[in-house]
Amino acid sequence: MSGIEVIQGLRGWTTVPIIVLSARHTEREKVAALDAGADDYVTKPFGMDELFARLRAALRRGTPAPEAPVIDTPHFTVDLAAKKVTRDGKEIRLTPTEWGIVETLVRNPGKLVTQKQLLLDVWGPSYADESNYLRVHMAHIRRKLEPDTRQPRHFITEPGMGYRFDR
């Protein structure tokens, strides 16, 4: 099966962003892939920073921004539009890093968000393997938001994999 056929097949059932990475670099090949449904076309060799930037751009274009949701739990409320967290009617101050982690997790309720994905989303590609940063910040978030830090109810650790947000 050719790459063009793969793209056409994917476009038949999903709108997920497609970025083609190829050694082929003629204009005809690029146009064919883009016309088949690819969102971007990157020719080898390419830099990893450029690839990550293209991935982020494709995700921004491919994922419509949700309408300013408010996530309520029995213990706190997260207002994504206002970038605020409240508990018992009082605003809880989160650092920008803590906010980035909380926002990523609450935007994916019930889904496993890997350590690597959180590190990429919040810190960027240079920190993709710094899981100790994540552990420290998760401890701070739990102290601020969880009713019992020894038995987290909302920010669940999936050992060796990542974290999950549960309402």
Is residue 70 predicted with pLDDT exceeding 70?
yes
Block residue for tokens 């994916």: 108
Q: Tell me which of 3.40.50.2300, 3.40.30.10, 3.90.25.10, 3.40.605.10 is the CATH number of domain 3-62.
A: 3.40.50.2300
Task: For the domain made up of 70-165, give the CATH fold.
Answer: Arc Repressor Mutant, subunit A (1.10.10)
Q: Quick check: 92 and 99 in contact, CB under 8 A?
A: no
What is the mean pLDDT of the segment spanning 14-29? 89
Q: What is the pLDDT of residues 24-35, one digit of tens each?
A: 989 999 999 998
CA gap 12, 37 in Å, rounded: 10
What is the mean pLDDT of the segment spanning 4-18? 82
- The residue among 126 and 88 whose pLDDT is bigger is 88
Listed by start position, the domains of the chain span: 3-62, 70-165
What's the pLDDT band for 67 if we cut at 50, 70, 90? low
The 3-state DSSP composition of the chain as helix, strand, coil percent (nearest 5) reads 45, 20, 40
User: What's this model's pTM, rounded to 2 decimal places?
Assistant: 0.62
What's the pLDDT band for 75 if we cut at 50, 70, 90? very high
What is the mean pLDDT of the segment spanning 95-104? 95
pLDDT of residue 158: 93
